[in-house]
Amino acid sequence: MFLCLHVASSISVGAPLGCLFIAFSLDRIGRISTFKFSLWPCVIGWMLIALAFNPNIIIIGRLLTGFSMSVGTNSANVYMAEISSPKLRGSMMSIGSVMLSFGVLSMYCTGLYLHWRVVAWIAFVGAFLPILMTAFWTPESPVWLIHKGQDVKALKSLKYFKSSKHSVGVQESFNEMKNIKEKKDLLINKDIENSNVFRRIAWNLSKPTVFKPALFMIVFFVLQQFTGIYTFQFHAIKMLQEVTQGINIKYATLLFGLFRFLLSFVATGMLHNYGRRPLCMISGIIMGITLFISGLCFYLRSQGDDSIIIAWVSLLCMLLYISAGSVGIMLIPWILPSEMFPTEVKGLFIGPIMAWCNAVMFVAVHFYEDLKGILGGMLGILWFYSFISILSVFFVWLFIPETHKKKLSEIEDYFKDNTLYLLRKKKTVKNEQL
């Protein structure tokens, strides 16, 4: 059991290290270059797992894949946020969730019928393919290139992302980005910009456009992890065995993976059409209700009621729980930092914020059994996760601004004058791009 916990949670040890790495790499070498770098630890990690001759090698492999996952997903989110239009930004950034869900489903399917080394080699091939793809496509973010003074490359990158029928707007978009960059240059303290990273972080935290989203995301990620949505992902088989006694656990696990995969497509469509706030709040409400009902079923079974109906209700509730989480609480908090932080500090702050999230994830996953013991078993866990799910709804309702179809400059302007979303100042927004 102790070894299993180490293997399950080791990925969350490597992830914070990756997040701290991008605090230096995103601004220095670029968004897409950071993503390309992240692919190699992933390939090496899966190769080590496939060739492992003792558990320590598996843990090292998991550390590398965890490092790669955090570097790759966060650099990709920043990249997608900067190359996408406000209308398409949410659905484009959710593509990673679709691919992750497909990977989880693939691992569940192959893991049930193939040896774990074969599964690791399949993952190795899947990790190697993006290296070939990014070697020939994917130019650097035009926003980052403009901030680095590489105007010729930025214009070329913009032309790549805009179709021929929109070619007239390329120069206009370039000029808007350039104007915003020049305005911000006037406000930059050159001494601070050339100082060490800790002084730069401290100075930027004095700005409401930085410390407000940073504080909101620190709290939001704690709430996200203790809704149990990621703990369930890491301990799916073990938790399903306890919650849905009487049902074939193999098929229940496959059903869980299939639901998550299908719902990731639904989430992509919903993020295109609906705001972040309503999706998060509806998601949290459904998660809270289904977890409470699952806990009630567990309580009835502990009192001697072994009805098959209770087992199926428990399974249905857990499927609804993971489905609701997939379109809201599981996905949206990862998108928000790339939208809410100003462009010039994304590399500096997204890394530490994501490191915090992964550190909390490690605590939630690694100490799951300890928390279950403190709360009196599975019943306490289910109702605790239910309470945190509802608490997250109130937090979003009070503090998280709507970023759907908003330009990045509009989101930045919001934090200058607002803290509580319900008391926000409504004013005419400047017509600026990014």
pLDDT in tens, 235-286: 766 777 776 665 666 666 677 777 777 777 777 777 777 888 999 999 999 9
Our count of domains for the chain comes to 2
Q: Which of 122, 137, 152 is the last residue of a domain?
A: 137
Would you say residue 146 lies in a domain? no
The letter for the amino acid at 365 is V
Condensed to tens digits (0 to 9), the pLDDT of residues 164-182 reads 444 556 777 777 776 766 5
pLDDT recorded at residue 429: 44
Would you say residue 186 lies in a domain? no
Q: Which of 105, 137, 169 is the last residue of a domain?
A: 137
One domain, residues 321 and 405: yes
One domain, residues 24 and 122: yes
Q: Which of 110, 137, 164 is the last residue of a domain?
A: 137
One domain, residues 216 and 322: yes
pTM assigned to the model: 0.74
Would you say residue 188 lies in a domain? no
**Residue 274's domain spans which residues?**
208-421
Condensed to tens digits (0 to 9), the pLDDT of residues 10-36 reads 676 777 788 778 877 888 888 888 888
Would you say residue 152 lies in a domain? no
CA-CA distances (angstroms) from residue 390 to 145, 226, 283, 378, 400?
Answer: 42, 11, 10, 19, 15
Can you tell me whether residue 303 is helix, strand or coil?
coil
One domain, residues 85 and 217: no
One domain, residues 214 and 125: no
Would you say residue 272 lies in a domain? yes
Whether the per-residue pLDDT at 433 is higher than 50: the answer is no
Can you tell me whether residue 365 is helix, strand or coil?
helix
Q: Which helix (H) or strand (E) holds 29?
A: none
Quote the CA–CA distance of 340 and 321 in Å, as a whole number: 27
Structure tokens given for 295: 């806990």
CA-CA distances (angstroms) from residue 304 to 152, 244, 252, 404?
Answer: 73, 15, 23, 49
Would you say residue 385 lies in a domain? yes
Condensed to tens digits (0 to 9), the pLDDT of residues 195-209 reads 666 777 778 888 888
CATH number where 95 lies: 1.20.1250.20
Would you say residue 300 lies in a domain? yes
Condensed to tens digits (0 to 9), the pLDDT of residues 76-127 reads 888 887 787 777 777 777 777 777 777 777 777 777 778 888 888 988 888 8
How many residues are present in the chain? 434
One domain, residues 91 and 213: no
One domain, residues 300 and 415: yes
User: In this structure, how many other beta carbons lie within 10 angstroms of the beta carbon of residue 196?
Assistant: 8
One domain, residues 129 and 240: no
Would you say residue 69 lies in a domain? yes
